Amino acid sequence: MLSGDIPPNQTIYIKNVNEKIKKEEPKRSLYVFFSQYGRILDVVALKTPKLRGQAWIAFSEVPATSNAVRQM
C-alpha cells in the first residue's frame, strides 16, 4: 500500500525514538517539536519491550497532522 492510499487521520507514528533516556523526556521533546504544527491531544511513548523506540502523536485536527507530515 502506498502512502497516498492511506486516508488522513489525526495520529502520527514516530520510530527510532531514543529508548535509553527516561520516558518523560522523549514525550516532552516530541510535544514541543510538533506543537508548532497544531494543538496536540496526546503523545504516547511506551517503554515496554514490544513498543520501545516508538511514539504516537495525536493532533486535534487532521489538517495539522497533514501539515506536520508534509513539513517533516
CA–CA separation, 60 and 9 (whole Å): 10
Question: Could you tell me the CA-to-CA distances from 63 to 1, 66, 72 in Å, in that order?
Answer: 22, 5, 14
Model confidence over 3-30: pLDDT tens digits? 566 777 899 999 988 888 887 888 899 9
Instruction: Check residue 26 and give its pLDDT.
Output: 87
Rg (CA), the chain: 12
Instruction: Spell out the domain ranges in the chain.
Output: 3-71
Q: In the prediction, which pLDDT does 1 show?
A: 44
Q: Residues near 54 by Cβ (< 8 Å), separated by ≥ 6?
A: 13, 14, 15, 17, 45, 46
Name the 3-class secondary structure at 27.
helix
For 19-70, write each residue's pLDDT tens digit: 888 878 888 999 999 999 999 999 998 888 888 889 999 999 999 998 998 8
What pTM was estimated for this model as a whole? 0.81
If one looks up domain 3-71 in CATH, what number appears?
3.30.70.330
